[in-house]
Amino acid sequence: MKLREEDVTIAADGYDIRARVVAPVGAGPWPGLLLYTDIFQLTESTLRTARRLAAAGFLVCAPEIYPRGELAGVALEFDDAGKAAGLGAASATTTAEFDADRAAVLDHLAGRDDVGMLHAAGFCIGGHLAFRAALDPRVAATVCFYPTGLHDGKLGADDPGSLAAADRIRGRLMVIFGAQDPHVPAPARVRILDALYAAGHDDLELHIYAQGEHAFMRDIGGRYDPALTDLGLAEAVSFLRGR
C-alpha cells in the first residue's frame, strides 16, 4: 500500500505540538491511530513503525511528547545523553500537561475529514501515555506496548494514578510485554493485571513474549527482536481492526 506523509502542527493552549501523520494514499476515511513514541521522540525508528501501521490501513499521527521546552522538535539519539535528556524531560512534565497534549492531538484527529474511529498505541512511556489516552471515551481500542510506570505510578513529575482510573476506560484494551523486561518484571505485570481485572477489564488481551526484552520492537540496538516485532504488530493490527 502506498503511503502519504505530512508534518503537522497541532495548536494547543499557548504552545504547538509537532507531529508526523502517515496514512494510506486515498481520501479515506481511515481509522485514526494516535501513536506515542518512547522517550526519544520522533526518531526514524519510530517513524518506520508508524509506516508499517499506516500500511495496514490506519491514519497514524505520531506527536512529539515533549512539546514544551528545549526538546520541542528534537529527535534524540539512542545513547546515554539521549536517554538522560528524554528521562529528564519526562520527569519535568506533569500528568496534566501530558493529558492536555493528548486532548489536543485527539481533537485534531477527530476534526479531520480523512479520519473515522479513533485508536491509540504507544511504546514504553508511550505505552503508559496510550493507556491514559484510553481514558478518553472517544478512543475505541488501545494497544500498550511494554508500558512503563503503570504499576508504580511513575510517568512524569507526579503520580498519574493511571491504574486507579482504569475503570474509566470504555474501549478495548491490549497490553504486550516482554518476559525479560526489567522495567516491568513479573510482579509488576501481576499488579497491573490485578488492577485491570478489579476495574472490570477481564476481557482485555494480554501478551507476554518469551525472551522479549524492554524495547524489543525498537529496530536499533541489541534488544531488537524482528520476529517478536512482527508478531506484536500483527497482533496489534488484528486487535485494532476488531478481528
User: What average pLDDT does the structure give for the chain?
Assistant: 97
Q: Which three cell numbers stand for residue 229?
A: 516485532
Burial class (CB in 10 A: 0-12, 13-18, 19+), 113: exposed
pLDDT, tens digit, 9 for 90 and up, residues 37-92: 999 999 999 999 999 999 999 999 999 999 998 999 999 999 999 999 999 999 99
Confidence of residue 200 (pLDDT cuts 50, 70, 90): very high
C-alpha 220, offset from chain centre: 18
pLDDT, tens digit, 9 for 90 and up, residues 116-165: 999 999 999 999 999 999 999 999 999 999 999 999 999 999 999 999 99
Task: Residue count of the chain, please give it.
Answer: 243
Q: Is the sign of the CA dihedral 157, 162, 164, 169 positive or negative? A: positive
Confidence of residue 243 (pLDDT cuts 50, 70, 90): confident
pLDDT, tens digit, 9 for 90 and up, residues 29-42: 999 999 999 999 99
Q: Are 218 and 45 in contact (CB under 8 A)?
A: yes
Q: Are 139 and 106 in contact (CB under 8 A)?
A: yes
Write down the pLDDT at residue 157.
97
Separation between Cα atoms, residue 124 and residue 243, nearest integer Å: 25
Which domains can be identified in the chain, with CATH numbers?
Answer: 3-240 (3.40.50.1820)
Q: Are 42 and 22 in contact (CB under 8 A)?
A: no
pLDDT, tens digit, 9 for 90 and up, residues 86-105: 999 999 999 999 999 999 99
Q: Is the sign of the CA dihedral 99, 105, 108, 110 positive or negative? A: negative
Give the CA count within 13 Å in the CB-facing half-sphere of 203: 7
Separation between Cα atoms, residue 140 and residue 126, nearest integer Å: 18
Q: Which residue has the cell 518469551?
A: 210
